[in-house]
């Protein structure tokens, strides 16, 4: 057992409110929305990630797709090898600003049952991803 020493906090000290920018992971692979599902699955496998940030032709964030979503589309009866990410990446449009408090983002992820939440700046650029695993690791 490890003994932890604690120090009393001064009454004049304000609590630190962490923002999403403090907790997010790098955005990881960002792909264009004209990429096919098959290529996206290959990129995901090569990057060893469970999600991809999807951007439009201007490099602006449009969606976050997961391996599970891509696999479901590929296994669907309407699937062809010409299906593009823009055709399936509707999603719920959820994202967080880098200044969003972590607690607020965590609640939104729970409410919407999201495994990851993109972090997008005021110009529409994907800055990173807040993963549900962050909250799991923090509670240990």
Q: What is the pLDDT of residues 53-68, one digit of tens each?
A: 999 999 899 999 989 8
CATH number, domain 20-138: 3.10.580.10
Per-residue pLDDT tens digits for 106-126? 998 999 888 888 999 999 999
pTM: 0.75
Residue 25: band (very low, low, confident or very high) from pLDDT cuts 50, 70, 90: confident
Percent of the chain with pLDDT over 70: 80
CA gap 21, 130 in Å, rounded = 9
Whether 140 has a pLDDT exceeding 90, the answer reads no
**Residue 47 φ/ψ, nearest 5 degrees:** -85, -5
Q: How confident is the model at residue 139 (pLDDT cuts 50, 70, 90)?
A: low
For residue 91, what are the CA distances in angstroms to 1, 38, 100, 118?
46, 19, 20, 12
Q: Answer yes or no: are the C-beta atoms of 95 and 120 closer than 8 Å.
A: yes
pLDDT at 9: 46
Average the pLDDT over 88-104 and give the result: 84
Contact 61, 120 (CB under 8 A): yes
**138 falls in which pLDDT band (50, 70, 90)?**
low
Q: The tokens of 64 are what?
A: 């976050």
Alpha-carbon distance 117 to 93, whole Å?
A: 10
Please state whether beta strands 126-131 and 116-120 pair in parallel, antiparallel, or not at all (unpaired). antiparallel
The pLDDT value recorded for residue 135 is 64
pLDDT band per the 50, 70, 90 thresholds, residue 47: very high
**Every domain of the chain and the residues it spans:** 20-138
Residue 137 has pLDDT above 70, yes or no: no
């Amino acid at each position: 057992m490890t003994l932890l020493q604690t120090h009393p906090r001064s009454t004049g000290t304000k609590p630190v409110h962490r923002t999403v920018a403090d907790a997010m992971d790098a955005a990881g692979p960002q792909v264009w929305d004209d990429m096919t599902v098959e290529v996206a699955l290959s990129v995901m496998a090569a990057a060893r990630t469970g999600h991809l940030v999807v951007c439009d032709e201007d490099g602006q964030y449009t969606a976050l797709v997961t391996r599970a979503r891509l696999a479901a589309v590929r296994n669907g009866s309407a699937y062809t090898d010409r299906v593009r990410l823009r055709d399936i990446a509707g999603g719920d449009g959820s994202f967080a600003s880098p200044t969003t408090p972590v607690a607020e983002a965590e609640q939104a992820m729970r409410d919407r049952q999201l495994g990851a939440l993109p972090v997008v700046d005021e110009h529409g650029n994907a800055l990173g991803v807040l993963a549900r695993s962050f909250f799991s690791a923090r509670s240990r």
